[in-house]
Structure 1
Amino acid sequence: MSEEKIEFYKGPAAGWGALRAVTNALLQQEATLKGGKLLLSANQPDGFDCPGCAWPDRDHHSSFQFCENGAKAVAAEATSRRAGPELFAQYTVTDMMGQSDFWLEDQGRLTHPMVYDASTDKYEPIAWDDAFALIARHLNALPDPNQALFYTSGRANNESAFLYQVFVREYGTNNFPDCSNMCHEPTGTAMNRQFGVGKGTVTLDDFSLAEAIFVLGQNPGTNHPRMLTELRAANKRGARVVSFNPLRERGLERFADPQDKFEMATFGSSPISTNYFQLRVGGDLAAIKGMMKHLLEREDAGEAVLDHEFIATHSVGFDALAQDLRSESWALLAQESGLSEAQLHEAGELYRCAGSAIICWGMGITQHKHAVATIQMIGNLLMMRGNIGRPGAGACPVRGHSNVQGDRTVGICEKPSAAFLDRMRDVFGFEPPRKHGHDVVDSIRAMLDGKAKVLFALGGNFAAATPDTFEVWKALRQCDLTVHVTTKLNRSHIVHGREALILPCLGRTEIDVQAGGLQGVTVEDSMSMVHISAGINAPASEHLLSEPAIIARMAAATLGDRSKTEWLWMIEDYNRIRDKIEAVFDDFKDFNARIKVPGGFRLRVAASDRIWETASGKASFLTHPVLQDTASHRARATVRDTVVFTLMTTRSHDQYNTTIYGQDDRYRGVFGQRRVVFINAEDIRALGMKDGDWVDIKAVWGDGVERRADKFRLVSYDIPRGDIGAYYPETNPLVALASVAIDAGTPTSKSIPVVLVPHGA
């Protein structure tokens, strides 16, 4: 582990620093040989699919289309370390509760199904059949199927996610809390209402044609490093790359491409952003609205700015939006965005001058109270100049985990449409439940209220990923049974129900052999491309099952003879599962044939072809005010004796979602530690403190509940005054369960009102 220090990082993103980090990750996991072999085979048609982020691959024939994040994920999965029965015999659950998230992950691959023994406070081995019988006993004992919750992580492949939703609906519930509820749920909500589709409208080829690319609420250098290749190329050919981010992020400034031999040999680098706007946390809606007001003012002055043909032919609602923009105050837009009026005009002019433009966004947009409104403002901005449904232009929500979009496509949704349920009934011969189920936040409330008794999690780390941490832990401990399908140990296995199971599964890098031979699985990336991959590594243990096999055997044990689905027959050959997917979803026509083409195929996105599957048959301009009643506004109005900051949670460079690979955040200059607060130097002085002092963070929600996270080191950083940043999951206890995005339910983890007090005061 690195020594604790804060040391400003002067280099570019990626480059030699990334290659050193990859080498260290392979060595630390004792996975050099297997890991190296896997990396050379990554993203080839006959190799495996990177288990990391959902950014697409431009060339599926290349052996080197992996990034630092992907390499760390591969190394973690290919580790030679094992978390077998010997580990669990050594430690009680209470012992492991005191360990860090990094320590839990670092124990290695799980090897056996384990069951919790309350009498010893330890996990012990259990046979697979006995584990499935235990699950079946609990599920079948529930008086109402809606007392069971079925969580899904974005690491689940299409085949397992589809089988999972078939089983759960045949069991009798639509309770599908999933990771989308905590990240891009506002994207789907906003875009479905506005365009009739909840997905991005661009392809990777559009990035080669765009004259401007706008990046909002996103840090590609850490979260989607392969995206930097596209941004670098765009900059080099003269396109504008315009970034909006409260933090100065190295990955949005300079990048050294490890695949560019000259750049690596000369220790060179390339710029990424041509323009960088450091707006306030949550100021994106006001900034976008300012850009639109600029366009309208230029149009009103007699210039040809707007795409009148698109507006007249393809949209409704523009007149109401124009009226709202004309009446909007520049002073308010500047105040709430954190940008000057001149900067707002500059950003609007950059957009006006681009013949084609793409707007990208991540969780810095979606995890706010007004997330849906902000995304619809992005849609408005795109439509004003016809930048939807034509080359080099469109909406690009950048998803996180590798198949978070695919899981939703194949049916993981707590609010299914009637048409989808009708098709399920016709294909599988049972009547699926029609009542909408619980999302993540509703699931937590149901557990707390005693209305949910069983939680089954297909991957993920529910206890660490969710908001209001200690309420979530209380909720989990009130369950009669918690079950987690996983490859490695995490916090959710330690915070468990009265009975608990840990079910170890194959990783995506590992060989999956069923009765029908070697199997491959499919995923869908952020741009709706579906492709197949198969692992090349031997399984970490002979006792592992694939995710589809776990689901099928659980379904067979639970539903028994009353099920009309041939569960065990389907997992003999995953082509049979894909045939069923094709039968339910028209867009998967010829599924098994199409995935044989290198690179796979793109699912239909109607809005990309200017087909609007909305009630009006057109896209909608939607009007929203600039919010002046956020949680931070209210906190500042009520807390008089100290400064209220707005905290944005973020992840370090040695982290993927809640998986902690190490204690370093290279690009932000943090080493050997995680409990830090990024804060403006002037704010440190105003607090009467100095850089390096220790503080406790207290949330201010006005609900009478004390939420705090103690002992964080102040780190002077380039961030607007009044805003601070810190890592999750350490700061998740500060997020109130009741604070969610309007109309989407996503926790507002990027806009937390807090005060800082000296540690221990």
Structure 2
Amino acid sequence: DPDSVEFYTSGRASNEAAFLWQLFAREYGTNNFPDCSNMCHEPTSVGLPESIGVGKGTVELEDFDHCDLVLCIGHNPGTNHPRMLGTLREVSKRGATIVAINPLRERGLERFTSPQSPIEMLSMSSTELASTYYKVRVGGDAAMLKGVMKILLTMHEEALSKGEPGVIDEAFITEHTEGFDALKADLESTDWEHILKVSGMAREEIQHIARLYASAERTIICYGMGITQHQYGTQNVQQIANLLLMRGNIGKPGAGICPLRGHSNVQGDRTVGITEIPPQSLLDGIEGVFGFRPPQKHGHGAIEAIKAMRDGKAKALLCLGGNLAEAISDPQVTFPAMRNLDLVVHMATKLNRSHLLLGKHNYLLPVLGRTETDVQATGAQSVTVEDSMSMVHASRGSLDPASPHLKSEPALVASLAKATLPDSVVDWSAMAADYSRIRDAIEAVFPAFENFNERIKHPGGFRLYNAASERVWLTPSGRAQFKVMQGINEDPRSLKCHDLVLTTLRSHDQYNTTLYGLNDRYRGVTGRRDVLFINAEEAEKRQLRVGDRVDLMALDPDGNPTSRQMKNLTIVIIDMAPGSVGAYYPEANVMVPLDSHDTKSGIPAYKSIPISMKRVTDETQTTSGVLR
């Protein structure tokens, strides 16, 4: 049964490797594509098409040269998007306003010393980034966003009553959108007491954000996984789109929505066909170009794949890179599920925890890294990626391979496909020998890649057509949609658990699941990861001091303790929102049940975990962390 095989994809795989991967799986007969996007920005891929017709951001780098205001919500560029710091520095230096909204006060959003500025490096000076920093409670983003929109409505009505221009772009809304009246009714029915309780913010703070937004002609909103990794993560993304649409801030220079993704090609993999819910246009394109009919039934995302392994329905897992076991939630279920497989195949550039979860038959296939030269039958090859701003560019490795026996990812995928599908209608050898043929095939299936091989020769590459950037709305009605979110709780299981909510974090010495060290320099942590971040007021309430140790227990939706625990964590005091605590990912994944995920996109709810806390004494001391 082809549907008993899961084809996992890491977002660091190139467009060429990912395209061959999805072609292999679909000729084999399945749409099972668990993907790292299922764990980071799937709410963007699901929510934005409903709102604006594309599942990507609408801004390009040049827009930051023209914006008046940048709202940074739920992300930490100092650790996760360091190249963005230079862009924000330039925004700040030319006088535009940057507002940070995040549960933790992160150094990387406050100030930046540019390594490319000799004056700043020699003088130990820095550039201020966020002029204003607001700490929203973990799980309070939707409440805050609805509060801002609610104030905009009031400001608009007050301005009109005085004969002044309104702050809502009624002309844009009339010409380009649908659903505003429903959104307005929802906002008017949302009471302030609830907004303030869930957001953890003062009304004056939300009013200040609204005034800044109303006075800015061009606004960009950047967001990260602090927005997406919730049970209502998709609705969170759509509230950001609503806010931008209210003032016509999509589809004009210096304005738009900017999701900040992680892996170098997580967006590109989706573009070239890595999706468990393929649009009919993709399936028809493959059939038209290659002559076989792809499976029509929807496949598995990451959560569904783990459940299929757990239940014995999935028999094999093939991984094009990545560290699925550590990245996904609920290792108590995930680890034994992966050990339950008949066949496990990993293609990787470095070892990770997933490689140690052995099924009956296991293969670990090392591949060339992006920095190594890739020489095939027709000569040296290049591969391409697509960044978060829809820019596609080529790269070519220059280092000698670690071993002459290493295969590239495209060549290895082609070899696996040839061996698995002896009667394949695809000329795998030709594409492995010359990657330009892969790009020709991508162009044939996806019209947006017109003249692909020529355009990647341009310095900096080229930008894929982004309809929403030009106010072309690829929704069923041809208009952008205001999407109403019922209520303001982005994690319904926290409704009865408003005491403490845990969020997962990454350290400065970490990239996704890869740990390069045990330090977190901007948060004052050295040589360890078994810590719990908490603000001074919450610690004092519980008579906790720096260095004290605590055990955490996850709570069920009724507020009752569960068996999910993190033990012997050391208290670190940090400037953080009330009612919020933080622990490191992926260690804290033990606190997230497999079934706790976004209701629309399936992303695990890593960012809002209701917990109880117990102080550890010498008599009750236990081993720190979680053994797996």
TM-score (structure 1 length as normaliser)? 0.79
Instruction: Report the alpha carbon displacement of residue 629 of structure 1 after superposing the two structures with TM.
Output: 8.3
Whole-angstrom CA distance in 2 between matches of 1:393 and 1:264: 32
C-alpha contact 2:139 2:490 (8 A) present in aligned 1: no
Q: Which amino acid aligns with 2:230?
A: H
Q: Which amino acid aligns with 1:318?
A: F
C-alpha contact 1:466 1:732 (8 A) present in aligned 2: yes
Deviating runs (4+, > 4 A) in structure 1?
Answer: 702-705
Whole-angstrom CA distance in 2 between matches of 1:191 and 1:328: 23
> Residue 246 of structure 1 corresponds to which residue in structure 2?
103
Query: What SS does the corresponding residue of 1:221 show, helix, strand or coil?
Result: helix
Instruction: Within 5 Å, give how 1:541-580 maps onto structure 2.
Output: 541-560=403-422, 562-580=423-441
Whole-angstrom CA distance in 2 between matches of 1:623 and 1:352: 21
Instruction: Report the alpha carbon displacement of residue 632 of structure 1 after superposing the two structures with TM.
Output: 5.2
* 2:301 is equivalent to residue 439 of structure 1: yes
Whole-angstrom CA distance in 1 between matches of 2:475 and 2:402: 48
Instruction: Report the alpha carbon displacement of residue 235 of structure 1 after superposing the two structures with TM.
Output: 1.2
Q: Summarize the Cα distance change of 1:564–1:704 in structure 2 as closer, same or farther, 3 Å threshold.
A: farther
Query: 1:78-121, CA deviations, whole angstroms, 9 ceiling, x for partnerless residues?
Result: xxxxxxxxxxxxxxxxxxxxxxxxxxxxxxxxxxxxxxxxxxxx
Q: Which amino acid aligns with 2:120?
A: E
* 2:527 is equivalent to residue 682 of structure 1: no
Whole-angstrom CA distance in 2 between matches of 1:665 and 1:206: 32
> Residue 624 of structure 2 corresponds to which residue in structure 1?
none
Instruction: Within 5 Å, give how 1:268-417 maps onto structure 2.
Output: 268-301=125-158, 302=160, 303=164, 304-417=166-279
Whole-angstrom CA distance in 2 between matches of 1:320 and 1:687: 43
C-alpha contact 2:233 2:490 (8 A) present in aligned 1: no
Whole-angstrom CA distance in 1 between matches of 2:561 and 2:194: 31
Whole-angstrom CA distance in 1 between matches of 2:108 and 2:41: 22
Whole-angstrom CA distance in 1 between matches of 2:326 and 2:24: 26
> Residue 319 of structure 2 corresponds to which residue in structure 1?
457
C-alpha contact 2:142 2:490 (8 A) present in aligned 1: no
Instruction: Report the alpha carbon displacement of residue 455 of structure 1 after superposing the two structures with TM.
Output: 0.4
More displaced, 622-631 or 157-166? 622-631
C-alpha contact 2:142 2:489 (8 A) present in aligned 1: no
Query: What SS does the corresponding residue of 1:721 show, helix, strand or coil?
Result: coil
> Residue 613 of structure 1 corresponds to which residue in structure 2?
474
C-alpha contact 1:367 1:747 (8 A) present in aligned 2: yes
More displaced, 678-687 or 596-605? 678-687
Whole-angstrom CA distance in 2 between matches of 1:705 and 1:344: 35
> Residue 427 of structure 1 corresponds to which residue in structure 2?
289
> Residue 336 of structure 2 corresponds to which residue in structure 1?
474
* 2:517 is equivalent to residue 656 of structure 1: no
Query: What SS does the corresponding residue of 2:421 show, helix, strand or coil?
Result: helix
More displaced, 684-693 or 422-431? 684-693
Whole-angstrom CA distance in 1 between matches of 2:509 and 2:371: 20
> Residue 189 of structure 1 corresponds to which residue in structure 2?
46
> Residue 449 of structure 2 corresponds to which residue in structure 1?
588
Instruction: Report the alpha carbon displacement of residue 635 of structure 1 after superposing the two structures with TM.
Output: 4.6
> Residue 151 of structure 1 corresponds to which residue in structure 2?
8
Instruction: Report the alpha carbon displacement of residue 742 of structure 1 after superposing the two structures with TM.
Output: 1.9
Q: Summarize the Cα distance change of 1:600–1:630 in structure 2 as closer, same or farther, 3 Å threshold.
A: closer
* 2:558 is equivalent to residue 696 of structure 1: no
* Structure 2: runs of 5+ lacking an equivalent: 622-628
Whole-angstrom CA distance in 2 between matches of 1:634 and 1:626: 11
Instruction: Report the alpha carbon displacement of residue 366 of structure 1 after superposing the two structures with TM.
Output: 0.2
C-alpha contact 2:231 2:490 (8 A) present in aligned 1: no
Whole-angstrom CA distance in 2 between matches of 1:554 and 1:630: 42
C-alpha contact 1:453 1:480 (8 A) present in aligned 2: yes
Query: 1:421-472, CA deviations, whole angstroms, 9 ceiling, x for partnerless residues?
Result: 0110111111100000000000000000000010011001011101001210
> Residue 78 of structure 1 corresponds to which residue in structure 2?
none
> Residue 87 of structure 2 corresponds to which residue in structure 1?
230
What number of residue pairs does the alignment pair up? 611
Q: Which amino acid aligns with 1:583?
A: A
> Residue 7 of structure 1 corresponds to which residue in structure 2?
none
Which residue, 377, 390, 393 being the options, matches 1:515?
377
Which residue, 516, 521, 525 being the options, matches 1:666?
521
Whole-angstrom CA distance in 1 between matches of 2:380 and 2:408: 12
Query: What SS does the corresponding residue of 1:571 show, helix, strand or coil?
Result: helix
Whole-angstrom CA distance in 1 between matches of 2:539 and 2:372: 49
> Residue 29 of structure 1 corresponds to which residue in structure 2?
none
Query: What SS does the corresponding residue of 1:587 show, helix, strand or coil?
Result: helix
> Residue 25 of structure 2 corresponds to which residue in structure 1?
168
C-alpha contact 1:681 1:691 (8 A) present in aligned 2: no
* Structure 1: runs of 5+ lacking an equivalent: 1-143, 638-643
> Residue 85 of structure 1 corresponds to which residue in structure 2?
none
Query: 1:277-303, CA deviations, whole angstroms, 9 ceiling, x for partnerless residues?
Result: 101011111111111111110111124
Q: Summarize the Cα distance change of 1:306–1:721 in structure 2 as closer, same or farther, 3 Å threshold.
A: closer
Q: Which amino acid aligns with 1:711?
A: N
Query: 1:511-530, CA deviations, whole angstroms, 9 ceiling, x for partnerless residues?
Result: 00000000000000000000
Q: Which amino acid aligns with 2:173?
A: I
Instruction: Within 5 Å, give how 1:628-643 maps onto structure 2.
Output: 628=489, 630-631=491-492, 633-636=494-497
Q: Summarize the Cα distance change of 1:733–1:573 in structure 2 as closer, same or farther, 3 Å threshold.
A: same
C-alpha contact 2:553 2:562 (8 A) present in aligned 1: no
Instruction: Report the alpha carbon displacement of residue 325 of structure 1 after superposing the two structures with TM.
Output: 1.8
Instruction: Within 5 Å, give how 1:83-98 maps onto structure 2.
Output: none
Query: What SS does the corresponding residue of 1:711 show, helix, strand or coil?
Result: strand
Instruction: Within 5 Å, give how 1:100-139 maps onto structure 2.
Output: none
- Give aligned-pair identity as a percent: 53
Query: 1:57-76, CA deviations, whole angstroms, 9 ceiling, x for partnerless residues?
Result: xxxxxxxxxxxxxxxxxxxx
Query: 1:135-162, CA deviations, whole angstroms, 9 ceiling, x for partnerless residues?
Result: xxxxxxxxx1000000000110000000
C-alpha contact 2:505 2:585 (8 A) present in aligned 1: yes
Instruction: Report the alpha carbon displacement of residue 701 of structure 1 after superposing the two structures with TM.
Output: 2.3
C-alpha contact 2:195 2:488 (8 A) present in aligned 1: no
More displaced, 329-338 or 533-542? 329-338
C-alpha contact 1:631 1:753 (8 A) present in aligned 2: no
Instruction: Report the alpha carbon displacement of residue 376 of structure 1 after superposing the two structures with TM.
Output: 0.9
C-alpha contact 1:285 1:374 (8 A) present in aligned 2: yes
Whole-angstrom CA distance in 2 between matches of 1:629 and 1:458: 32
C-alpha contact 1:531 1:599 (8 A) present in aligned 2: yes
Query: What SS does the corresponding residue of 1:731 show, helix, strand or coil?
Result: helix
Query: What SS does the corresponding residue of 1:402 show, helix, strand or coil?
Result: coil
Q: Which amino acid aligns with 2:525?
A: V
Query: What SS does the corresponding residue of 1:707 show, helix, strand or coil?
Result: strand
> Residue 202 of structure 1 corresponds to which residue in structure 2?
59
Instruction: Report the alpha carbon displacement of residue 306 of structure 1 after superposing the two structures with TM.
Output: 1.2
Instruction: Report the alpha carbon displacement of residue 664 of structure 1 after superposing the two structures with TM.
Output: 0.6
Whole-angstrom CA distance in 2 between matches of 1:581 and 1:634: 46
Query: What SS does the corresponding residue of 1:248 show, helix, strand or coil?
Result: coil
Instruction: Report the alpha carbon displacement of residue 634 of structure 1 after superposing the two structures with TM.
Output: 4.2
Instruction: Report the alpha carbon displacement of residue 682 of structure 1 after superposing the two structures with TM.
Output: 2.3
* 2:154 is equivalent to residue 266 of structure 1: no
Whole-angstrom CA distance in 2 between matches of 1:181 and 1:227: 23
Instruction: Report the alpha carbon displacement of residue 327 of structure 1 after superposing the two structures with TM.
Output: 2.5
Q: Which amino acid aligns with 2:273?
A: G
More displaced, 300-309 or 417-426? 300-309
* 2:586 is equivalent to residue 729 of structure 1: yes
Query: 1:210-263, CA deviations, whole angstroms, 9 ceiling, x for partnerless residues?
Result: 000000000001000111111111111111101100101000111000101111
Query: What SS does the corresponding residue of 1:207 show, helix, strand or coil?
Result: helix
C-alpha contact 2:59 2:257 (8 A) present in aligned 1: yes
> Residue 46 of structure 1 corresponds to which residue in structure 2?
none
> Residue 750 of structure 1 corresponds to which residue in structure 2?
607
C-alpha contact 2:179 2:481 (8 A) present in aligned 1: yes
Whole-angstrom CA distance in 2 between matches of 1:273 and 1:322: 30
Query: 1:2-33, CA deviations, whole angstroms, 9 ceiling, x for partnerless residues?
Result: xxxxxxxxxxxxxxxxxxxxxxxxxxxxxxxx
